[in-house]
Amino acid sequence: MNSLMTRGSLFDDFFRDVAPGFYVKPLHGDALPSPAQIKIDIKENGTSYTVQAEVPGVAKDDIQVSVDGSIITLRAEVKQEDTQNKDDKLLRSERYFGSVSRAFQLPQDVDESEAKAKYDNGVLTLTLPKKKVGNGAQRLRID
């Protein structure tokens, strides 16, 4: 099955190079990103995880991050619009709207109350403190 998908990809690449007229490309940017295109880096130190995710071209208000134990979910609403002046005659308009999301699991639960997020120049940086684990099993006194 994988070989079929690879062949299709090779043919797509071939026809895209040989006959580019068959593929319509956006006038102002790339098409919607796929979940695999949200590239992430995850670093760990003794007390927290640091996640950097590339989400270029998305407004800060259109990004959502949710933390559920050790599962982190990133969602982004992608909105690309063409602008037009009043003197312009519109010949073609391409607008892209949609959402993309990616979820991943960390090795340890995250303390949601102390988690922080920062978005700068297309890079979302999450600081996710590890949830403090108790001193292991505690022995209960039996009455």
Q: What is the pLDDT of residues 23-77, one digit of tens each?
A: 444 444 555 455 457 889 999 999 999 999 998 878 889 999 999 999 999 998 8
Contact call for residues 83 and 95 (beta carbons, < 8 A)? no
pLDDT on residue 77? 86
pLDDT at 55: 87
Please name which of 129, 128, 68 lies closest in space to residue 103, comparing C-alpha atoms: 68
pTM here? 0.63
Residue 13 burial class via C-beta count within 10 angstroms: exposed 0-12, middle 13-18, buried 19 and up: exposed
**Residue 110 DSSP symbol:** B
Q: 96 forms bridges with which residues in the sheet? A: 80
**Do residues 111 and 129 lie in contact, with contact meaning Cβ atoms separated by under 8 Å?**
yes
At residue 116, the 3 state secondary structure works out as strand
Closest-CA residue to 24 (of 92, 78, 97): 92
Question: Does 117 score more than 90 pLDDT?
Answer: yes
Amino acid letter, 14: F
Query: Which percentage of the chain shows pLDDT scores above 70?
Result: 57
Sheet with 40-44: strands ordered across: 40-44, 48-54, 123-129, 116-120
Pairing state between β 96-105 and 116-120:
unpaired
Q: In whole angstroms, what is the distance from residue 124 CA to residue 41 CA? A: 11
